[in-house]
Amino acid sequence: MLSGAGVIFALVMVLLVLPYRAQNGPRGEARQIRVWIVGLGLAFPMTVLAALLGYGLFVGEQLLPRDLPDVVRVGAEGRQWAWTFTYEDAPGTTTQDVLHIPAGRPVDVAITTADVIHSFWVPRLAGKLDAVPGRANILRIEADTPGVYQGLSAEFSGAGYDRFTFSVTAHDAAGWQAFLRGDER
């Protein structure tokens, strides 16, 4: 971020200095200033912002929960200082502080809490969503590859919230089936 900010700052400084260094007389300077203001002061930022908006809408659309045939549904209930996970595909199965999911398939996590507001956040898989008492918020996550991903609660919910963590274990197809059968609990 520091590098990006430095590049933007340098670009702005160059754009600020260039119109004043023009040696084309009063009419040339005025025209050059208009070109810089319209071209790089309006057109360039609008183009960049439009591209970022388009990208954000595309990515956001992918994260919306939808009824797809291969969606896995799990429940996540937060409480000071633990997460309990339940699995629709394995009724009666619960895990503490470790969420098991299949890799390469979308997973809808119904997030709620038993006490105060918490947040469910797995930075490498999806954005943060709050767990609110009496409400189930749905978050779509998907791990592209098998592995272990760290999650945390980024919402202040009392002393010790900064150590309120959990992990997400993404299994390959065989590992997911073994978990559903109860072999890996």
Render pLDDT for 102-139 as a digit per residue (tens, 0 to 9).
999 999 999 999 988 999 999 999 889 999 999 999 99
Q: What is the DSSP string of 133-174?
A: BT--EEEEE--SSSEEEEEE--S--STTGGG-EEEEEEE-HH
Q: What pTM value is reported for the model?
A: 0.68
Asked if pLDDT for residue 167 goes beyond 70, the answer is yes
Per-residue confidence (pLDDT) for residue 55, from 0 to 100? 93
Q: Residue 53, SS3?
A: helix
Query: What does the DSSP 8-state code read for residue 63?
Result: H
CA 37 to chain centre: 35
d(CA 126, CA 109) in angstroms, rounded, equals 11
- Give bridge partners of residue 36 from the DSSP assignment: none
Per-residue confidence (pLDDT) for residue 21, from 0 to 100? 65
Is residue 68 within 8 Å of 106, Cβ to Cβ?
yes
In this structure, of 2-11, 72-81, 104-113, 155-164, the range with the lowest mean pLDDT score is 155-164
Render pLDDT for 12-71 as a digit per residue (tens, 0 to 9).
888 777 666 655 555 556 666 666 666 777 778 888 999 999 998 998 887 676 677 789
Whose tokens are 């919306």? That residue is 64
Residue 122 has which token pair? 């797995």
Cis peptide leading into residue 121 (ω within 30°): no
Which ranges of 36-122 does DSSP label H, i.e. alpha helix?
Answer: 44-63
Per-residue confidence (pLDDT) for residue 32, from 0 to 100? 66
d(CA 86, CA 103) in angstroms, rounded, equals 17
